[in-house]
Amino acid sequence: MPSRLLALTAVGAVAALVASPVQAAEPVTAILETPALWSEDDADADDPAIWVNEADPADSLVITTAKEAGLYVYDLQGNELQHIDPRPAPGEDDAPGRYNNIDLIENFKLDGERVDLAVASDRGMDNLGIFKIEDGQLVDVTDENAGTIFTDSQEEINGEHTAYGLTTWQSRSGAYALVSRNSETEVALLKLVAENDKVSWQKIRTLELPASFELPNGDDWTTCDDPGQYAQVEGMAVDEATGTAYLGQELVGIWKVSADLKGEPELVDTAVEFGVPGVYNPDTDECEYGPDPGYGGDVLHTDIEGLTIYSTGHGTGYLLASSQGDNTYAVYNLRGSNNYLGSFSISDGAVDSTQHSDGADVVNVPLPGYPGGLLVVQDGDNTPEGTDESSTNFKYLAWQAVAENLDLRTNCTRR
């Protein structure tokens, strides 16, 4: 595997990719939201995927993960249509299934027919949950003999260095998933394979991003975390037009690399906190930080979370990234050096504002109520009317509102 040390002799050059002056985030409001999910029910909203029903766009679905509460499926009005429980724990001392991230595969050949799939990473089992979308419902088609992704035993699975973030992509050679590993810098490329009426996977290769960086002053810097935990990736997206994957290393920045994980990854932008020295204090279970040396970017505040792409056709469009630390979403140009174009936040409106947003998904397809496309984001601090208790859920936004505020394009064609 590659070394955990990467010399960044041009960290300043990375920051220079943020060509436009950083301005205050433009406020937008959500149109509606899904019902609140409560931690007391082991429900924690995480990541959405928007499935477009080409035959009847009004019947499109928003398929979401809720970690140890499984999967929730909503309609375009935010109403719950289906709930799928997580897989049960294999043993008394083992964790149950924990669906973390989800994405879609279209027109997959399975058992003699073409189907659309929802593919979820299962952190509790270190594998995938794969579901056929049939008559507006999810039907489990996971091959139970597919095996694990990163671990070799239940004992290793219980150590929780398991499947974490996920994105999917397709090419002429097949359907693929990129899956990151919890508490590690590793990302795996899996090819999805039909096994009669079930779907399995083959691990093609892995990429290990750096966990240690040489700063311009010659110091080695690592992100501060619990001992044995490294700078993991969660949010990921693939631009299929160019075969480029974008990987959000939560405490570091956004990388781009070939979606087949060949070649050297390149930093698009770094977190503001990049290079800030920190020491883990076991007594407080927290990191204690020193002064900021100023090597980080100007836009993204850790954690860097959900990534999604709004395509405007022919390899053009926008990369969106959730900047959890300041409750904003950064927008980058897909072309060239991925210049920063601006940021937006989701403010109080018809529904409450959004904080600590994790996963996000956007489509450029006209849908009822969303003529320029639909953006769905997770709200990590939802505050339902009539209660002071915090919960989580998902907010629906019109892409057109984001585009108008940031002077971006809309392009309503199929992704």
Per-residue pLDDT of the chain (415 residues; tens, 9 = 90+): 343 444 443 344 444 444 445 668 999 999 999 999 998 888 999 999 999 999 999 999 999 999 999 999 999 999 999 999 999 999 999 999 999 999 999 999 999 999 999 999 999 999 999 999 999 999 999 999 999 999 999 999 999 999 999 999 999 999 999 999 999 999 999 999 999 999 999 999 999 999 999 999 999 999 998 888 999 999 999 999 999 999 999 999 999 999 999 999 999 999 999 999 999 999 999 999 999 999 999 999 999 999 999 999 888 999 999 999 999 999 999 999 999 999 999 999 999 999 999 999 999 999 999 999 999 999 999 987 767 788 999 999 999 999 999 999 887 544 4
Q: Which superfamily does 5-406 belong to?
A: TolB, C-terminal domain (2.120.10.30)
**What pLDDT, on the 0 to 100 scale, is given for residue 387?**
74
Question: Under a CB-based contact definition with an 8 Å cutoff, are residues 198 and 143 in contact?
Answer: yes
Question: Under a CB-based contact definition with an 8 Å cutoff, are residues 289 and 278 in contact?
Answer: yes
**What pLDDT, on the 0 to 100 scale, is given for residue 88?**
96
Question: Under a CB-based contact definition with an 8 Å cutoff, are residues 215 and 208 in contact?
Answer: no
Q: Where are the domains of the chain?
A: 5-406
Provide the token pair at 201.
Answer: 């996977």
Provide the token pair at 358.
Answer: 């994790």
C-alpha torsion sign, points 96, 102, 105, 106: positive
CA angle 167, 348, 376 (to 5 degrees): 20
In three-state form (DSSP H/G/I as H, E/B as E, the rest C), the secondary structure along the chain is CCCCEEECCCHHHHHCCCCCCCCCCEEEECCEECCCECHHHCCCCCCEEEECCCCCHHHCEEEEECECCCEEEECCCCCEEEEECCCCCCCCCCCCCCEEEEEEEEEEEECCEEEEEEEEEECCCCEEEEEEEECCEEEECECCCCCCCCCCCHHHHHCCCCEEEEEEEEECCEEEEEEEECCCCEEEEEEEEEECCEEEEEEEEEEECCCEEECCCCCEEECCCCCCCCCCEEEEEEECCCCEEEEEECCCEEEEEECCCCCCCEEEEEECCCCCCEEEECCCCEEEECCCCCCCCCCECCCEEEEEEEEEECCEEEEEEEEHHHCEEEEEECCCCCCEEEEEEEECCCCCCCCCCCCEEEECCCECCECCCEEEEEEEEECCCCCCCCEEEEEEEEHHHHHHHHCCCCCCCCC
**What pLDDT, on the 0 to 100 scale, is given for residue 9?**
38
